[in-house]
Chain A
Amino acid sequence: MGESTIGIPASDEPRRSGLRELGRRLGQIDEIGVIGALVVLIVLLAALVPETFLTAQNFINVSRQASYVGIMAVGMVFVIAMGDIDLSVGSIWMFSSVLMAIALRDGYAIWIAVAVCIVAATSCGLLNGALSVALGIPTIIVTLGTLSLYRGLGLVVTEASPVSGYGHDTWFFAWIGGRDPVFGVWISVWVMAVVAVFGWLLFNRTPFGRRVQAIGSNVQAARFSGIRIDRTRLLVMTLMGFIVGIAAVVALAFNRNGSPTVGVGTELSVIAATIIGGTALTGGSGSVLGAVLGALIIALIQNGLALLAVPPAWSVAVTGIVIIVAVTLDYLIKRRQ
């Protein structure tokens, strides 16, 4: 039956007018859907609220708002490309950041507090992977459980109230929670950029990244090719936790105090950013750049709706609509090729 392969029906003969050729070239860029959506969104907001939207200050703020989700979406690309999902990232964020705040409150040095945060988040990810591998349950089920488990533990250690009582006039809060002196961009945005570059290299340029995509594409073929499925899954879930730890550190540096309400529902924004960015929920491929741009889109929508004085409740609903539109757009463009 291999011969049905030539059976790709063509709509018509390809005519190479300049515009079409440009369209064809653009269509070949993996992230074209998300870039298109981003451009449309910016043009639209620039037309509707030019005086408040088109300011450097606004862009600087939006990019910071996008940065936490953007950092975590880099990890989510690996998880989803492997054919898995992690629903616990919002809870890992909350749990690790309150532990860090508690360490600071109890007088530990900043580097110890940072280590506590990263180690806690990485361990949470490792536990997700270990439970899935050891019990043979899909990660969606495991993380549905740990979503409550980690948040619950966070509520226990904080007794459900904010953690404060430590000084904020240290280099950590000034620098990591501040803006760079040259461009005035928030440090969390730079962290997102660095995480994205490392994530891109790991995903596209290493054996590990190739294996992750092979597993997501055909797990049996990957097994027959000698890929250690369990080990790779464990590594990816651990990496996800580690990356959430990084996001938690930079977020706490900005927010200053540990909050037991941080990260509620964030897993959905992270997954949405990843999917808007062109990573297929069915696994097998993904885009790190797309995921970061996806996070920007989500932040831009919320920013735009705020500038348009839309009530916050509506902004949640509109975010959902835009996710559907962006994913559909991407699907339609890809299908036309």
Chain B
Amino acid sequence: MHVGRENLNDAGDLVVEMRDIAKRFPGVVALDHVNFTVRPGEIHALVGKNGAGKSTLMHILTGLYPADGGDILVRGERIEAMTTSRARHAGIALVAQHATFVPALSIAENLATGALPTTRSGFVDWKRLNAIASERMAAFGLDIDVRRKMENVSVAERQMIEIARALFADASVIILDEPTAPLPKHEVRMLFEFVRRQRERGASFIYISHYLEEVFALSDRVTVLRNGRGVGVFATDDLTQPELVRLISGSDVERFRRPVRETVGRPVLRIAGLTRPNVYHDVDLTLHEGEVVGLTGLEGSGNAALARGLFALEPIGAGEVTLDGKRYAASRPEAALARGVAYLPRDRHGYGIVGIASVRDNISLSVLDRLRTVLGFLSLRKVIGLVEGYIRALGIKTPSQQQPVEFLSGGNQQKVVVAKLVATEPRVLLLDEPTQGVDVQAKVEILRIIDELTTRGVAVAVVSDELNELIDVCDRILVFYRGRIVREFRKGDADMTTAHILHAIEGGTEAADDAVA
């Protein structure tokens, strides 16, 4: 099928062509004469670091911002002054990460968007409404109960429904902006299969993502942007992942590898026989000073729940937990922090940052009481000193301490959250998917920060399913399967490879390992 697409190279066959697009914001050239094309029936990945111009380019294509220069052609026809309604008429639709549905209404009602069919007496004709909606969904291969409320529908299904809705409204180019960031692995697979099916029917997709594995798994071509310039367009099959990383960053991003450690520190957190019915069973686990331990497993295998339990966000269950030799049972997050257990939440925007507040306010938030003068007022000198120290230590890129955190890139936002946690001088640091939604370079920097933290004697647990990163940074990786720790991999051992770990994650036994190797 690739062969079939190769001969669509002449411009007449392009469904979208953006030529010489320029856009400047005060003080920044956001796009510097960028070209971008989409062929019919292709999945075109658009990649680049945060701030490279991907979103700006898409905002221009969907008419959200006017371009300062350049042409946009849809199916060979030039569109003057793109607006959101013109983009819609031209068949360009954006499926955002957070889909635009009304959660309290049913799927069918959401699909009808204000044009509910009525009976002769003027009431809503539910039968007809549901029949139309089911039929539409079935037409796109979606077999779902349209009477369910949108709030009970999984994120992947929601995205598929939104794609189907757009396609039904005659869209031919669908922009997917980081669609997989909020999804567990098995839902990603489901979404990808759906996207591929729609491609076979002739729909085109523009796929924006930081997850390069997914770019390779899904896309036909890749356009790389760097600092507002187009680096090039490539057939995905012609690229390797390290090559793509180099194109994105403009230089070799060194892979960070934590060295093998000879000595093991004193035990900090000891868990013995910890059981929470239906979540995890008989968990035995010890975190040592200066150690990084990865906790991985399928969604719902108990690894993430254990971290949340330790931070008192969920019940922890019954069993023995000691911290520095003393019993540990925190009833609330603040009690956990007081004992020296800090937690980095998965959803940075919901739980990590106070968006409108400044870098300074965010970093100092958990330790305000330490920054007082004798009279009880905040000492600006102490606050600035503390924040400056962390901005430097963690390499946070911000114009000033007073910059609102929501205006920083994803990687820098994440570093702000880490700084806030580290400021509490924790004994145990629980990190839940710390590299989610940050660009390649920032991922490496975050791994480096994790490594440096251990020199202060912190015990770090990383909950993640990014196996490559876990292998790079962890001294040990514990695999959870159905609530039990089934395997332990140690840095330096020959079997600490993605293939072996993946095998264990899916429930494979050690004995069957040879099949993998």
Contact = CB atoms under 8 A, between A and B. Distances in A.
Chain B associates with chain A: yes
Interface of A: 1-10, 13-14, 201, 205-207, 210-211, 213-214, 217-218, 220-228, 284-285
A6 B351 contact: no
Given A214-B361, A221-B353, A2 B437 contact: yes
B52 A214 contact: no
Interface string B268-305: 00000000000000000000000000000000000000
Contact of B352 (A6, A213, A214, A221): A221
Given A217-B356, A225-B365, A226-B424, A5 B56 contact: no
B52 A5 contact: no
B356 A2 contact: no
**Interface bin, chain B:** 35 or more
B350 interface: yes
Interface string B402-430: 00001111110100000010001000000
Contact of B356 (A3, A5, A284): A284
28 contacts: A2-B437, A2-B438, A3-B54, A5-B407, A6-B25, A6-B51, A6-B56, A7-B25, A206-B376, A207-B369, A207-B371, A207-B372, A207-B378, A210-B361, A210-B368, A210-B378, A213-B357, A214-B361, A214-B365, A217-B355, A218-B353, A218-B354, A220-B351, A221-B350, A221-B354, A224-B333, A224-B343, A284-B354
B25 A223 contact: no
B338 interface: yes
Interface of B: 25-26, 28, 30, 50-56, 59, 65, 97, 177-178, 332-334, 336-338, 343, 345, 350-357, 361, 364-366, 368-369, 371-372, 376-378, 406-411, 413, 420, 424, 437-438
Given A2-B437, A206-B378, A224-B333, A7 B55 contact: yes
Contacts of A220: 350-351
Leading 4 A-B pairs by shortest Cβ distance:
A207-B368, A2-B410, A226-B337, A226-B334
A14 B27 CA distance: 10
Contacts of B25: 6-10
A226 B338 contact: yes
Given A10-B25, A225-B365, A285-B356, A3 B65 contact: no
Nearest to A210: B368
Contact of A2 (B334, B343, B408): B408
A1 to B, nearest CB: 6
Pick from A2, A4, A227 the residue with the most CB of B within 10 Å.
Answer: A2
Nearest to B64: A7
A325 B65 CA distance: 30
Nearest to B97: A1
A14 B26 contact: yes
B288 to A, nearest CB: 24
Contacts of B410: 1-2
Contacts of B354: 214, 217-218, 221-222, 284
Contacts of B51: 2-3, 6
A205 B377 contact: yes
Nearest to A1: B178
Contacts of A9: 25, 65
A223 B336 CA distance: 11
A223 B65 CA distance: 37
Contacts of B372: 206-207
A227 B409 contact: no
A51 B30 CA distance: 59
Contacts of A223: 333, 351
Given A210-B368, A226-B334, A2 B26 contact: no
A112 to B, nearest CB: 30
Given A10-B26, A205-B377, 10 more contacts: A1-B177, A2-B408, A4-B59, A5-B409, A7-B65, A220-B350, A224-B333, A225-B420, A228-B334, A285-B356
Nearest to A220: B351
A1 B55 contact: yes
Contacts of A2: 50-51, 408-411, 413, 437-438
Given A224-B345, A225-B366, A4 B55 contact: yes
Nearest to B379: A205
Given A214-B365, A221-B351, A221-B354, A6 B28 contact: yes
Contacts of B30: 6-7
A3 B409 contact: yes
A107 to B, nearest CB: 40
Contacts of B343: 224
A223 B366 CA distance: 10
A240 B204 CA distance: 58
A297 to B, nearest CB: 26
Nearest to A231: B334
A209 to B, nearest CB: 8
Contacts of B408: 2, 5
A106 B333 CA distance: 50
A224 B351 contact: yes
B368 A218 contact: no
Nearest to A226: B337
Contacts of A5: 406-409
Contact of B357 (A205, A217, A227): A217
Contact of B26 (A13, A217, A225, A284): A13
Most buried by A among B59, B177, B378: B378
A279 B332 CA distance: 30
A218 to B, nearest CB: 5
A13 B24 CA distance: 10
A205 B352 CA distance: 23
A2 B50 CA distance: 6
Contacts of B334: 226-228
A224 B65 contact: no
A227 B406 CA distance: 21
A201 to B, nearest CB: 7
Contacts of B97: 1
Contacts of A284: 354, 356-357
A227 B424 CA distance: 12
A213 B357 CA distance: 9
B337 to A, nearest CB: 4
A301 to B, nearest CB: 31
Contacts of A224: 333, 343, 345, 351-352
B378 A3 contact: no
B185 to A, nearest CB: 20
A220 B410 CA distance: 19
A201 B369 CA distance: 16
A225 to B, nearest CB: 5
B345 A205 contact: no
A298 to B, nearest CB: 28
